[in-house]
Chain A
Amino acid sequence: DQQVKQNSPSLSVQEGRISILNCDYTNSMFDYFLWYKKYPAEGPTFLISISSIKDKNEDGRFTVFLNKSAKHLSLHIVPSQPGDSAVYFCAASWVGWGKFQFGAGTQVVVTP
């Protein structure tokens, strides 16, 4: 039973435009959400996170939005750059649980 879902396996965007990645979750106990970025032949690297007490967190070109009532979060990348081409994973957890649940990932391709 997948508790974290990324329904778009791929996304193609032009350089300079906005990339929007979506993630849905089913478990209302989740109170911490993260986005990871993964290049081929490398491990996932942490990108940005958000706690359930917030609805937005921003770090440079990356912004994560959380809509708790809809159990939905999104990652906005503005502007998109060729180096952003990677697989992006959404993950969720709650304090003390000790586990992360990951989505299936979205492959982002930024074209010139």
Chain B
Amino acid sequence: EAQVTQNPRYLITVTGKKLTVTCSQNMNHEYMSWYRQDPGLGLRQIYYSMNVEVTDKGDVPEGYKVSRKEKRNFPLILESPSPNQTSLYFCASKRGSMNTEAFFGQGTRLTVV
């Protein structure tokens, strides 16, 4: 089954404790990205990657890091989480830079206290 898998689904952590949210896709997609969803703001892009070792900032990259060492994986790293990063996070993938739909993971609910 074609899918985008995020882990964990739920996470509560404390301010300053580094964490990683993993994302994996099995569709051989070149393009992957991370979004956060906040009330009234919709989905805002954090980082995206057009292919292995190619990443770029989205609209809200501050406080986040990413890496793309393999085509299937695109982890999101919060080096020093803060309460304003409490949000619902989604990973997505799609084929290349073509005009085509993106497939989303189930989401990760992160709470930073």
Q: A34 contacts which chain B residues (CB < 8 A)? A: 101
Chain A interface mostly: loop
Q: How far is the CA of A49 from the CA of B105 in the complex (A)?
A: 19
Q: Is B99 in the interface zone, CB < 8 Å from A?
A: yes
Instruction: Check A43 against B105 for contact (C-beta < 8 Å).
Output: yes
Q: Are A98 and B31 in contact (CB under 8 A)?
A: yes
Contact with A along B94-113 (1 / 0, CB 8 A): 00011101111111000000
The answer to whether B90 touches A103, judged by C-beta atoms less than 8 angstroms apart, is: no
Check: A104 CB closer than 8 A to any chain B CB. yes
Please name all residues of chain A whose beta carbon is closer than 8 Å to the beta carbon of B40 when the two chains form the complex: 9, 104
Interface size class of B (residues with CB under 8 A): 20 to 34
Other-chain contact of B101, A49, A99, A102 (Cβ < 8 Å) = A49
From B6, which residue of chain A is reached at the shortest CB distance?
A43
Q: How far is the CB of B25 from chain A (nearest CB, A)?
A: 12
Q: How far is the CB of B98 from chain A (nearest CB, A)?
A: 7
CB of B65 closer than 8 Å to a CB of A: no
Task: Decide: A89 and B101 in contact? CB cutoff 8 A.
Answer: no
Q: Would you list which residues of chain B between 32 and 55 have a CB under 8 Å from chain A?
A: 33, 35, 40-45, 48, 50
Partner of A105, one of B35, B42, B99: B42
Interface centre among B41, B43, B58, B90 (most CB of A within 10 A): B43
Q: How far is the CA of A100 from the CA of B35 in the complex (A)?
A: 10
Interface membership of A83, Cβ < 8 A = no
Interface residues of chain B, those whose CB is within 8 Å of chain A, are: 4, 31, 33, 35, 40-45, 48, 50, 56, 58, 90, 97-99, 101-107
